[in-house]
Structure 1
Amino acid sequence: MSTAEPRVGMDVNLDLKDGPDAPQHVREALEQTWRDPGGLIGMLCAVNHKTIARRFIVTTFVFFLLAGLLALAMRTQLARPDNRLMGPDFYDQLFTVHGSTMMFLFAVPVMQAVAAWLVPLMIGARSIAFPRVNAYAYWVFLFGGLTLYVAFALGAGPRAGWFSYVPLAGPDYSTGKGTDIWAQMITFTELSGLLEAVVLIATILKMRAPGMSLNRMPLFVWATLVTQFMVLFAMPAIMLASTALILDRLVGTQFYNPALGGDVLLWQHLFWFFGHPEVYLIFIPALGFMSSIVATFSRRPVFGYPAMVLSLIATAFLAFGLWVHHMFATAVPALGKSFFTAASVMIAIPSGVQIYCWLATLLTGRLNMKAPLYFVLAFFFNLVLGGLTGVMLGSVSLDLQVHDTYFVVAHLHYVLIGGAVFPLFGAIYYWFPKVMGRMLDERLGRWHFWLLFIGFNVTFFPMHLLGLHGMPRRVWTYPHGMDWDAMNLGATVGAYMMAAGMLVFIYNVVHSSRRGSRAGADPWGGGSLEWSVPSPPPPHNFDALPVVHAQEPLWAPAREPRWVSGLTATAREVLTTTALDAQPDTRPLFPTPSIWPFLSAVATTVFFIGSIYTPSAVWWGTVPVAIAMIVWFWPKRRSNAIARAGTLA
């Protein structure tokens, strides 16, 4: 086989007649080529993007459930005044681990994981770019999360809050190894996030199906691309901040010690330069979920495609100009605060544009009222309320009054749960048939929705009032007679309602995975490419790579050519295309399954954890990492032989 451009629309190799389904022997060859090996070693060697993404999703949801249990314990402690269910030290650990889990081990990773499963299918690719790096990112993430929870289980959990402000997190006030473990958990998760960002950006820009120019990409793919560029700019700030923190604690540097030339506000600037864009790292993928679900259940493309794309990009740019509105209670000059107030108000504009585009789509479409659409409709209510309180907190005068109160807790959860988790659940109900090949139970889905929606608002809406009544956040108990008792009890009841909804969801997922009604390739009537392949998809995704002629390929009239031929079925050969117009470019060979990404992650884990206890681990720990990665990237004779055969054939 030559290295010339693949043939488009010529059914020579695959003997295609009326569609992209390959003959049985070709399909079997493709499955044999692209599947992961079996057994325990095969599990550790897996590089298929769907396998790694499923592990990512399951792992992040396990962390989500653990964080939910911690939140339930905290709400139980706060259900009545002067409660002594737990002491302040343990409560601080619960609070820190809960927030750290939700922000670093669930919210951002789960959005990247869903994208890693969906994006290759939505853009017509057989794999994700750099599949071994994708596998390595998962193992690093898993080991980082386990490090935090093992420390917590052993009583050595961090206690300085998920934001880990100095000097509280410094060596003078946070003794023990809890804060050091927290800082290294940040390094684990942000390394994983940066790697996933590179993988997804390369996939979207270079592996789209021929004809899928930038103005034909699904809106979810646009949301993913924008988000991953944000990751590249935002995450180095928190990695730098946490590294400086651990150096202050373990080596004796003075980055955050004002007595010796450091600056405590440096931590807040670095942390929130990452921390506020992180809200949009969670929120923007949810906007992509919204667009996919709204289009399918309205039975029409989303209104205002260019405005939607420009709004995503504008949101990303503005998100990096807001971080100081978390610091209005500090000594930032008043003139500077005014600019961040203006930016805090401006960022509501692109979000408003998208809301109006979705509403126009819903109002002009023919609605199919199923569980995914219920979660989408709840998004409008929750996000508008959370967005309004966000604009309120962008005002310096109000923020100074409610900055350290439960008003901020309410706002944070309305934005993150109401604006991101509700669309995420909608996405799970929407794409579950594609992942598992079976439908989730619709009746249980509605029970889940109503328990979650009512419980969420019963839990967090009273917190606005608690904040306005002066209840401070980050307290483990409160005295009787402050007029907070009834609202705290109501919030706790709401939290248990949310827990009941999650039990219904877990039962639905487990039961439907085994006994749910079987789903066809396109049970919802969707218009994007993932609905053109069987449910669940084969290891190679597509028997023949599609050629795209419209934004919603499955809803557009059939046009020639419709698929690509000329790629071999006996090697992991993929098609890359140009970044702008998606014209066929090259045909590289992709790497096969390997255990070395796993072993490299183990070596990285030993390096990171060892550095918490001894500085010598920094230089000695690089040796196994270097060895594992050299073997990982060392060219194999079989791969070279396949490449030479492909060049000379």
Structure 2
Amino acid sequence: MAATAEQSHTHDAHGHDHGHDHHDHHDPGFLKKYVFSTDHKMIGVQYGVSGLVFLAFGFMLMLVMRWSIAHPGEPLPGGLSWILQLFGDDFVTRWAPDGKVSGSLYNMFGAMHGTIMVFFGVVPLGFAAFVNFVMPLQIGAPDMAFPRLNMWSYWLFFISGVFMTASFLLPTGAAQAGWTNYSPLAAVVQRNTDARFWTGQTQWLFAMVFNISASLLGSVNVLTTVINLRAKGLTWMRLPFFTWAMFVIAFLLLLAFPPLEVAALMQLSDQVFQSSFFLPTGLWTSESGILNVSGGGHPVLFQHLFWFLAHPEVYVLLLPGIAIVAEIIPCNTRKPLWGYKSMVYAVLTLAFLSFIVWAHHMYLTGMGTVVATFFQFTTVMISVPSVILLTCLMISLWGGSIRFPVPMLFATAFLPMFGIGGLTGLPLAFSFIDLYLHDTYYVIAHFHYIVAPGVIFALFAGIYHWYPKVTGRMMGTVLGHLHFWPSLIMMNVLFAPMFIQGMAGFHRRWYDGGKVFEITAHKYFYLNEIISWGAWGLGLAQIPFIVNFFLSIKGG
């Protein structure tokens, strides 16, 4: 019996030692912990940092564009010319002779600015970063449902972003057909080049296919996590509103992205294999005459596939901001969110309606009046759940004991900025108004009021709010105020004059800002300089945030 006890004791000791050896053997190294991590928190941080870097890059492209618009035909000043030097001397020689922004370079920067800001900046930062870091903690899940898939999703996104930005280094330059990449322009803009089968347009499509695949993997992960890994007793109507919003976003991505991925592959076939999914018969260009393609395709088909994704994508951009603000307001008013159930039903309604409004982007394609009437009706209807969400957030402030730390400043600023963006979108719902305002600066102002002073302000609020959870330290209040107030002012200096220019008929794609029409539009041309001052001022206003972000990691 004593021998048995001794053997048992020896076995336990060996088991204990083996446990220590097992733990030491699997202690993650630097690469496993910080680079190829499967931990949802670290992946959230990776998405957040990557999204901020891509946002900064897209913003720099915009600064160069604003100089070209405000000072057409003039060389870039030293403070901006370094941005072009990032791509090398050959790039500058080819696309910016004498330091002046050419029309082709402006088109490149315009296409890449929109693509990078939307698909590689706001969505990864707003959705992927916050959903990975915050949502499992909210629902009591140990991690995301598929940790390895989560890691692969991030790296597929990151590789696609690097692949996209690397297209600037190609002999053809980056894509020049706008962030919408409409056919047939996308198929012919770089057709007569030496690199016929590998152009900036081709690389844009490959990068988008990778990015869409990453988004689909991430969406499946989010849906599975919420459905299967909720804590016991956490019923659907007990879920935090933040989690509800992210759950709906994942559904939007899962249902809306496949049509765009198919469209990208079809357009890739048009460019590389000379098919004609989107190329009509007898297509003529000034450089090539009638193109030698089989024809029979239709450019409007691509627009349908693109906008079927791109309008739900607007709510993929918007809903993370609303979700973050809905977390911050109760924390700083010391009262619960008002109208929780109404907000949940509003988000579900918004998601449904977002799939039946896409053609309001296409009134000018020759749409019949009956079809146009349907899309006008659904577009007006989709404003109702948006108003419900905004109203609930504003009423949540009523009667609260409100504090205004930096996150709350950004969160409350989001409300009127989003309101302006939404209200200015209502006229565009009607085809008879859109005939005039389509593709003008009015549309730019409307969209950017939702995404820039709206969504990005909410994302800044989320960064300031959860920064202590990530790093264990607070961001500085003084630098936070130096970031917020100039940003709020400069955002409005940047975007508000665009409403005036748009109603005056200024087209959104003039690389000289409409200089050729200065004689008839001299009353509005000077606004180009004011808008550009706002852009440069907004860039300077981000310096306190950058300093605060890095200094607070150690000294916060």
**1:485 Cα deviation after fit:** 2.9
Alignment of 1:475-494 (within 5 A): 475-477=510-512, 478-479=514-515, 480-481=518-519, 482-483=521-522, 484-494=524-534
For the residue of structure 2 that corresponds to 1:254, the secondary structure is coil
Structure 1 residue 372 and structure 2 residue 379: aligned?
A: no
- Out of 152, 161, 175, which is 1:145 matched to? 161
- Structure 2 counterpart of 1:98, from 113, 116, 133: 113
Alpha-carbon distance in structure 1 between the residues aligned to 2:167 and 2:447: 27
Choose 147-156 or 341-350, whichever is displaced more: 147-156
Q: Deviations over 1:587-622 (max 9, x none)?
A: xxxxxxxxxxxxxxxxxxxxxxxxxxxxxxxxxxxx
Task: Measure how far apart 1:171 and its partner are.
Answer: 4.0
Residues 41 and 426 of structure 1, relative CA distance in 2, 3 Å threshold: closer
- What TM-score results when the alignment is normalised by the length of structure 2? 0.85
In the alignment, is the contact (CA less than 8 A) between 1:256 and 1:262 conserved in 2?
yes
SS of residue paired to 2:180: coil
Deviation readout 1:37-80 (Å, 9 max, x if unpaired)? 11346655421111112111111111110001001111111123
Aligned to 2:334: 299
CA positional deviation for 1:153? 3.5
Partners of 1:36 and 1:359 in 2: CA distance: 48
1:200-258 per-position Cα deviation (integer Å, ceiling 9, x unaligned): 11111111111111111110000000110111110001101100000111112110122
Size of the alignment, in residue pairs? Answer: 489
Among residues 286, 293, 296, which one is paired with 1:261 in the alignment? 296
1:166 pairs with 175, 183, 193, which one? Answer: 183
Q: How far apart are 1:103 and its partner, in Å?
A: 1.3
Counterpart Cα distance in 2 of 1:372 and 1:401: 39
Match of 2:216 in 1: 194
Tell me which amino acid in the other structure corresponds to 1:78: I
Residue 106 of structure 2 aligns with an amino acid whose one-letter code is: Y
Task: Indicate the residue corresponding to 1:514 in structure 2.
Answer: 554
- What does residue 113 of structure 1 align with? 129
TM-fit CA distance, 1:472: 0.7
Task: Give distance in 2, aligned partners of 1:90 and 1:299.
Answer: 51
| Corresponding residue number in structure 1 for 2:45 | 54
Could you tell me how far 1:35 is from its partner in structure 2?
A: 8.6
Q: Which amino acid aligns with 1:105?
A: F
Structure 2 residue identity aligned to 1:109: P
For structure 2, which runs of at least 5 residues remain unmatched after alignment? 1-15, 76-99, 282-294
Q: Distance in 1 between matches of 2:396 and 2:191?
A: 52
> Which residue in 2 is equivalent to 1:337?
372
2:265 matched to which residue of 1? 243
1:514 & 1:184 partners in 2: Cα distance? 40
- Closer, same or farther in 2 for the Cα pair 1:400/1:225, shift >3 Å? same
Contact persistence 1:36–1:48 (CA under 8 A): no
CA-to-partner distance for each residue in 1:268-296, whole Å, 9 max, x for gaps? 00000001110001111211111101111
**Deviation string, structure 1 residues 467-499 (Cα, Å, up to 9, x no partner):** 111211111103243223321111011111110
Mapping 1:226-625, distance limit 5 Å: 226-259=248-281, 260-477=295-512, 478-479=514-515, 480-481=518-519, 482-483=521-522, 484-516=524-556
Change (3 A) 1:45 1:32: farther
> 1:123 aligns to what?
139
Q: Aligned partners of 1:265, 1:125: CA distance in 2, in Å?
A: 45
Distance (Å, rounded) in 1 between the aligned partners of 2:504 and 2:73:
18
**Which one has a larger percent helix, Structure 1 or Structure 2?**
2
Contact 1:67 1:101 in 2 (8 A): yes
Q: Find out whether 1:218 has 2:240 as its counterpart.
A: yes
| 8 Å contact from structure 2 (residues 170, 200) kept in 1 | no
Which residues of 2 match residues 172-187 of structure 1 at below 5 A? Answer: 174-175=191-192, 176=195, 177-187=199-209
**Secondary structure of residue in 1 paired with 2:231:** coil
The answer to whether the Cα contact below 8 Å between 1:171 and 1:248 also exists between their aligned partners in 2 is no
Whole-Å separation in 2 of the counterparts to 1:188 and 1:113: 18
Q: Name the aligned partner's letter for residue 224 of structure 1.
A: M
TM (norm. structure 1) is 0.73
Structure 2 counterpart of 1:86, from 91, 95, 101: 101
Paired residues of 2:346 and 2:385 also in contact (CA < 8 A): yes
Tell me the distance in 2 between the aligned counterparts of 1:297 and 1:351.
Answer: 23
In the alignment, structure 1 residue 204 sits paired with structure 2 residue 239: no
Mark the CA change 1:313 to 1:35 in structure 2 (over 3 Å): closer, same or farther.
farther
Q: Deviations over 1:57-109 (max 9, x none)?
A: 11111111000100111111112355453111111111111111011111222
| 8 A Cα contact 2:338 2:393, kept in partner | yes
Q: Distance in 1 between matches of 2:32 and 2:378?
A: 51
Matched with 1:605 is none
| Separation of aligned partners in 2, 1:475 and 1:278 | 26
Kept in 1: contact 2:66–2:532 (CA 8 A): yes
Quick one: which of 30, 53, 70 aligns to 1:39?
30
User: CA, structure 1 residues 166+296, in 2 after alignment: closer, same or farther (shift >3 Å)?
Assistant: same
Report the counterpart of residue 66 of structure 1 in structure 2: 57
Letter paired with 1:63: F
Cα deviation per residue 1:406-461 (whole Å; 9 max; x = unaligned)? Answer: 11111111111133111111111111111110001111111111111111110011
The one-letter code matched in structure 2 to 1:220 is F
Question: Are the aligned partners of 2:110 and 2:178 in contact in 1 as well (CA < 8 Å)?
Answer: yes
Aligned to 2:79: none
Q: Which one has more relative contact order, counting CA pairs under 8 Å at least 6 apart?
A: 1
Question: What is the root-mean-square deviation of aligned Cα atoms in Å?
Answer: 2.0
Residues 50, 158 of structure 2: 8 Å contact kept: yes
The alignment partner of 2:202 has SS state of: helix
Quick one: distance in 2 between partners of 1:76 and 1:508? 28
Which AA in structure 2 matches 1:512?
S
**Equivalents in 1 of 2:337, 2:542: separation in Å?**
30
Cα deviation, residue 329, structure 1: 0.9
Q: Which amino acid aligns with 2:40?
A: H
Q: Distance in 2 between the 1:318 and 1:32 partners? A: 51
Q: Residues 307-352 of structure 1, C-alpha deviation per residue, up to 9 Å, x if partnerless?
A: 0100110111111111101001111111111111111111111111
CA distance in 2, matches of 1:44, 1:502: 27
Query: Which of 56, 68, 71 is residue 77 of structure 1 equivalent to?
Result: 68
User: What is the CA–CA distance in structure 1 between the aligned matches of 2:540 and 2:170, rounded to whole Å?
Assistant: 29
Kindly provide the amino acid, as one letter, of the partner of residue 279 in structure 1. Answer: V
In structure 2, the CA distance between the partners of 1:408 and 1:253, relative to structure 1 (3 Å rule), is same
Query: Structure 1: how far apart are the matches of 2:469 and 2:443?
Result: 38
